[in-house]
Chains A and B, each alone.
Chain A
Amino acid sequence: MQEIAKVTLENELDLILAHKRTMKLAELACLSLSAQTTFATAVSEVSRSIIDGKHKGYITLSVETDANETYIVASLRDGRLHDANSLEGLSYAKRLVNKYQLVVNRNETVVQLYYFIAPPFRIDILKLDEWRNIFRNEPPISPYEELKRKNEQLQDLSEKIQKSEGQYRTLTNSLPLIIFSLDFNGKLLYANDWLLRFTGETLHTLNAGGWEKVVHPNDIQAFMHLLESKVPASSSAIQTQVRLRHKINDVYLWHQISLSAFVNEKNEPQYWIGYVVDIHAQKVYEETLKDNFELKETQARLQENQHEMENIIGELNRSNQELEQFAYIASHDLQEPVRKLLFYSDALQKKYSAAIDETGRGYFKNMRDSAMRMRTMILDLLSFSQVNKAQIQLSETDLNEVVAIALQDLDVLIKEHAAVVNTSTLPVIMGDSRMMRQLFENLICNAVKFHQPGVMPDISISCAVKNDKYEIAVADNGIGFDEKYLEQMFHLFQRLHSRDQYEGTGLGLAICRKIVELHKGTIWASSTEGVGSVFYITIPVGTKNAVDELI
Chain B
Amino acid sequence: MMIDDDEEDQWIIREALKAFDIGDIATYVSNGKDALSRLDSDYSKEQHLPRLIVLDLNMPLMNGTATLGKLKADQRFRNIPVVIYSTSINPFEKDKCMQLGAQIYITKPISIEESMRTVEIFLSFCR
- B87 an interface residue at 8 Å Cβ cutoff? yes
What residues of B have a CB within 8 angstroms of the CB of A347 in the complex?
112
- B8 an interface residue at 8 Å Cβ cutoff? yes
Contacts A342-B110, A346-B111, A346-B112 given; indicate if A382 touches B8 (C-beta within 8 A).
no
CA distance A343 to B92 in the complex (A): 26
Interface centre among B90, B108, B109, B110 (most CB of A within 10 A): B110
- A434 an interface residue at 8 Å Cβ cutoff? yes
Contact A375 B110 (CB under 8 A): yes
Contacts A343-B12, A343-B115 given; indicate if A382 touches B110 (C-beta within 8 A).
no
Name the CB-closest residue of A to B88. Answer: A332
Contact B90 A328 (CB under 8 A): yes
Contact B87 A386 (CB under 8 A): no
Name the CB-closest residue of B to A339. Answer: B110
- A379 an interface residue at 8 Å Cβ cutoff? yes
Contact A332 B90 (CB under 8 A): yes
Determine which of B89, B91, B115 lies in contact with A379 in the assembled complex, contact meaning CB atoms within 8 Å.
B89
Contact with A along B97-126 (1 / 0, CB 8 A): 000000000001111110100000000000
Contact A342 B111 (CB under 8 A): yes
- Tell me what chain B mostly uses at the interface: helix, strand, loop, or mixed: loop
Closest CB-CB distance, A335 to chain B, in whole Å? 5
- Tell me what chain A mostly uses at the interface: helix, strand, loop, or mixed: helix
Name the CB-closest residue of A to B110. Answer: A342
Report B5-50 residues with CB < 8 Å from chain A CB.
6, 8, 12
Contact A434 B112 (CB under 8 A): no
Determine which of A343, A375, A434 lies in contact with B91 in the assembled complex, contact meaning CB atoms within 8 Å.
A434
- Size category, B interface: 10 to 19
Determine which of B8, B108, B110 lies in contact with A346 in the assembled complex, contact meaning CB atoms within 8 Å.
B110
**Total A-B residue pairs with C-beta atoms closer than 8 Å?**
37
Contact A391 B92 (CB under 8 A): yes
Contact B89 A343 (CB under 8 A): no
- Size category, A interface: 10 to 19
What residues of A have a CB within 8 angstroms of the CB of B58 in the complex?
332
Contact A340 B91 (CB under 8 A): no
Name the CB-closest residue of B to A371. Answer: B110
- A499 an interface residue at 8 Å Cβ cutoff? no
What residues of B have a CB within 8 angstroms of the CB of A434 in the complex?
91
What residues of A have a CB within 8 angstroms of the CB of B109 in the complex?
339, 343
Contact with A along B63-90 (1 / 0, CB 8 A): 0000000000000000000000001111
CA distance A375 to B108 in the complex (A): 13
CA distance A340 to B6 in the complex (A): 11
- A350 an interface residue at 8 Å Cβ cutoff? yes
Contacts A346-B112, A350-B112, A375-B110 given; indicate if A340 touches B90 (C-beta within 8 A).
no
What residues of B have a CB within 8 angstroms of the CB of A328 in the complex?
90
Name the CB-closest residue of B to A386. Answer: B90
CA distance A332 to B89 in the complex (A): 8
- A487 an interface residue at 8 Å Cβ cutoff? no
Contact B90 A339 (CB under 8 A): no
Query: Lowest 10 CB-CB distances: which A-B pairs, in order?
Result: A342-B110, A346-B111, A336-B87, A335-B87, A339-B110, A350-B112, A347-B112, A343-B110, A346-B112, A332-B88
- Interface residues of A, Cβ cutoff 8 Å to B: 328, 332, 335-336, 339-340, 342-343, 346-347, 350, 375, 379, 382, 386, 391, 434
A–B Cβ pairs within 8 angstroms, 18 of them: A328-B90, A332-B58, A332-B87, A332-B88, A335-B89, A336-B6, A336-B87, A339-B87, A342-B110, A343-B12, A343-B110, A343-B115, A346-B113, A375-B110, A382-B89, A386-B92, A391-B92, A434-B91
Known: A332-B87, A339-B87. 12 other contacts (CB 8 A): A332-B58, A332-B88, A336-B87, A339-B108, A339-B109, A339-B110, A343-B12, A343-B110, A343-B111, A346-B110, A346-B113, A350-B112
- Interface residues of B, Cβ cutoff 8 Å to A: 6, 8, 12, 58, 87-92, 108-113, 115
